[in-house]
Structure 1
Amino acid sequence: MIPASGGLQVAADIYGTEGPLVVLQHGGGQTRHAWKGAGQKLAEAGYLAVSLDARGHGDSDWAPDGDYSNDALVEDLVAVVDSFEQRPILVGASMGGGTSLTAVGEGRVDAAALVLVDTAPRIEAGGVRKIRDFMGQAPDGFSSLEEVADAIANYQPHRKRPRTLDGLAKNVRLWPDGRYRWHWDPEFMRRKRSLKDRVPRQEEAARNVDCPSLLVRGGLSDVLSEEGAQAYLELVPHSEYANVGEAAHMVAGDRNDIFVAAVLDFLGKIAAPS
C-alpha cells in the first residue's frame, strides 16, 4: 500500500527494481490488474512500473466521504508520485488518463512524459453511457462467477471468453451474503459526472502539456472517436499518436502486444533506460 491523500492508502503492484518510473492508472471500474501484462513488459524493458488501484477500486481504501472526483484522484496521484524520487512517466487509461492529463496540464505533477490511452478532452457520450450502464447493472450482485463472465462477455463481444473463471475473482468481491459484486465502492457510481463540464478544463490542461506525449486510441472504440483524437492532437501538436485498429476502449486488455510496442517505441525516444 502507498499513502495517498486524505489519509487514504492505495494498493499498488510494482514491476521491476530500477529504471525510469512509469505510473500506470486504470479506468473507472477497473483495477491495477488491468496493467499486469504491460507492467511485466515494461519491467523486462528496463523500466520501474507501478500500477495503482484508484481510491475506491480494487484493494485501495474507500473514501469515507464518497469523494471520487477528478480533483481527489489528482491529489492521490500527487501523493503517490511524491513517494518516489524521480519524475514519472504517466500512463493513464480512460479515467486514469483524465487524472494524468489534469495533473500534468495544471502543473500538479512534473511528468517526464504523458501517455493517454483511449481518452482525451472530447469523448463520446454514447460510449460513456454504455460503460456506466455496464457498471450499474446488478446492484444486488451476481450469484456466481459464471454470471459475472456472462455480463463481461455481453459488454465485450469482440473478446474471447476466458477458458477459466479464476481471473474474474480480481474484478469482484464475495460479500458476506454470498453474492459477487464489482470490486469498487458503490458510491463511485452515485457521483454525477458531466461531460459538458469536463471538456473546458481538460482542453485547457491539454494546451498546457509541454512534456512528450503519446495518445493511443483503440480503433474500435466507441468512447474516443477519431475526431476526438485529432482534436487532442490539435491542442497538443507535439504529441505522437497510435491507433490500435483491433482494440476497443480497453486497449491494453484487447491488444496488449501492440499497445506495449507503441509505448516502448515512444519511450525509447525520450526516456530509454540507461
Structure 2
Amino acid sequence: MSAGTKLPGTPEPMHRWQGSGSIAIAGDAWGDPNGPLVVLQHGGGQTRHAWKGTGEALGAAGYYAVAFDARGHGDSDWAPDGLYGQDVMVQDLQCVIAALGQHRPVLVGASMGGGTSLVAVGEGHVDASALILVDIAPRIETKGIDNIQAFMSQKPEGFISLEEVAEAIATYQPQRVRPKSLEGLAKNVRLGSDGKYHWHWDPRFRAGTRDLQRRQERLEACARALAVPTLLVRGGLSDVLSEEGSQHFLDLCPHSEYVNVTSAGHMVAGDRNDVFGTSVIEFLKRSVPPSIPPGHASRPVSTPPAESGGDINDVP
C-alpha cells in the first residue's frame, strides 16, 4: 500500500534494508563505509531527503552518513498493521544498524527521529558513540504540535496541483524563501489514482493517540540516563522546542552541549543547513573524530546549501 505513483524525477533510494516485521526500509548513504557511522533520522512527515546536504558534508568530513525513510514515509514500506509507535521505530533503527554491520553509531535525530534516537540510547537499545537531537527534547510546546497537526490535516482529499502544495508549505513555513521551481516537491508527494497529489506518508501514521505527559516522563528518564557525548540543536524560531524546554533538557543531561540556530525554525537543517552542518561536524570532530588519511586533515569541509523544495512538515 502506498500514497500513489512517484512523480518523475523522484530519486530512487541507494539502499534497502529489512526493518522490524520484514518492513522494507529505504535509505541513502554518503562517504566511506570505513568511517564512523552516523545514522540520520528524519521527523514525522519528512523523508531521508531532508538530510542530503548534511549527509554529503559528513561524508566529505570522513564519516559514513546514512539516512533512511521511517516506515510509512517516503520509499519505505507502510506498516500492514498501521502501527507507527516509538518502540517499533527503535526496532527498525536496530535492524538498519545491524544490516550495516557497524557498532557504536552516532545517532542524529530531528523531532520524531530525535525521540526515537533518545529512547534508543537512553534505554540501552543502541550502543551509540554520540547523540545529536535536533529541535526536540522531553518538554515540547503544545501550540507547536497543534500547528503541525493542523498543517498535516489539511487537504485529506488531495491537492489539485503542485502549486497548491507549494502554497500550503509557504503558509506553514513563512520564514523560508519560496523556491522558484516546483521540481523539488516531487519527492514529497505521490500522484493518486484520483489524479490528485497526496503526501507521501501513510495517513494512519497520525492516527495513534499521543499522551504528551507519558511521552515527557519517558524521555526525561532517557535524558537522565545518557552517558554519551550529546548535542542539542534548537531552531531559535521554533514553536515546538522553546528555550525553556532546551534548558530543561540541559538540566536533565548536564554534560550535553547546546547550539541555538537563531534564524531557523523547527526544520533546523532545512532552514539553515550551513550553520547546522558546521555545528554538527565541529561537535563530532571533538567527540567521535574520523580517521582522516595523512595529508588530508587540513582540507576544508564545506556544507552544501539546503535543497529548495525539501521536506517541510514534522510530527514529534
Q: Do both proteins adopt the same fold according to a TM-score greater than 0.5, normalized to the shorter chain?
A: yes
Matching residue within 13, 16, 32 for 1:17 = 32
Partner secondary structure for residue 108 of structure 1: coil
**In the TM superposition, what is the alpha-carbon distance from 1:17 to its structure 2 partner?**
2.4
Return the TM-score normalized by structure 1: 0.99
Aligned to 1:61: 77
**In the TM superposition, what is the alpha-carbon distance from 1:176 to its structure 2 partner?**
1.4
Return the TM-score normalized by structure 2: 0.86
Structure 1 distance, partners of 2:154, 2:38, is: 33
Matching residue within 42, 48, 52 for 2:64 = 48
* Higher RCO (C-alpha under 8 Å, 6+ residues apart): 2
Aligned to 2:162: 145
Query: Which structure 2 residue ranges, 5 or more long, are not aligned?
Result: 1-15, 292-316
**In the TM superposition, what is the alpha-carbon distance from 1:177 to its structure 2 partner?**
1.3
Partner secondary structure for residue 70 of structure 2: coil
Partner secondary structure for residue 12 of structure 1: strand
Matching residue within 192, 201, 204 for 1:175 = 192
| % identical equivalent positions | 63
Query: Which structure 1 residue ranges, 5 or more long, are not aligned?
Result: none
Structure 2 distance, partners of 1:44, 1:138, is: 40
**In the TM superposition, what is the alpha-carbon distance from 1:9 to its structure 2 partner?**
1.4
Partner secondary structure for residue 22 of structure 1: strand
Q: Structure 1 segments of 4 or more deviating over 6 A?
A: none
Matching residue within 134, 140, 149 for 2:151 = 134
1:206 aligns with 2:223: yes
Aligned to 2:309: none
Contact 2:140 / 2:241 at 8 angstroms: preserved in 1? yes
Contact 2:139 / 2:216 at 8 angstroms: preserved in 1? yes
Aligned to 1:113: 130
Structure 2 distance, partners of 1:146, 1:20, is: 41
Partner secondary structure for residue 222 of structure 2: helix
Aligned to 1:97: 114
Aligned to 1:82: 98
Structure 2 distance, partners of 1:129, 1:52, is: 26
Contact 1:136 / 1:189 at 8 angstroms: preserved in 2? no
Matching residue within 249, 269, 273 for 2:286 = 269
Paired letter, 2:22 = G
Matching residue within 190, 205, 225 for 1:188 = 205
1:227-261 deviation digits (Å, cap 9, x = unpaired): 00000001110000000000000000000000011
CA root-mean-square deviation:
0.7
Paired letter, 2:74 = G
1:78-130 deviation digits (Å, cap 9, x = unpaired): 11111222211000000000000000000000000000000000000000110
Matching residue within 129, 146, 171 for 1:154 = 171
Structure 1 distance, partners of 2:223, 2:99, is: 25
**In the TM superposition, what is the alpha-carbon distance from 1:197 to its structure 2 partner?**
1.6
1:137-185 deviation digits (Å, cap 9, x = unpaired): 1001101100000000000001000110001011111111111001100
Contact 2:103 / 2:127 at 8 angstroms: preserved in 1? no
Paired letter, 2:203 = P
**In the TM superposition, what is the alpha-carbon distance from 1:7 to its structure 2 partner?**
1.1
Structure 2 distance, partners of 1:136, 1:78, is: 31
Structure 2 distance, partners of 1:104, 1:7, is: 23
Structure 1 distance, partners of 2:255, 2:98, is: 27
Contact 2:40 / 2:66 at 8 angstroms: preserved in 1? yes
1:177-226 deviation digits (Å, cap 9, x = unpaired): 11100110011111121211211000001111111000000000000000
Count, aligned residues: 274
Structure 2 distance, partners of 1:35, 1:13, is: 9
Aligned to 2:257: 240
Structure 1 distance, partners of 2:212, 2:165, is: 28
Structure 1 distance, partners of 2:143, 2:251, is: 23
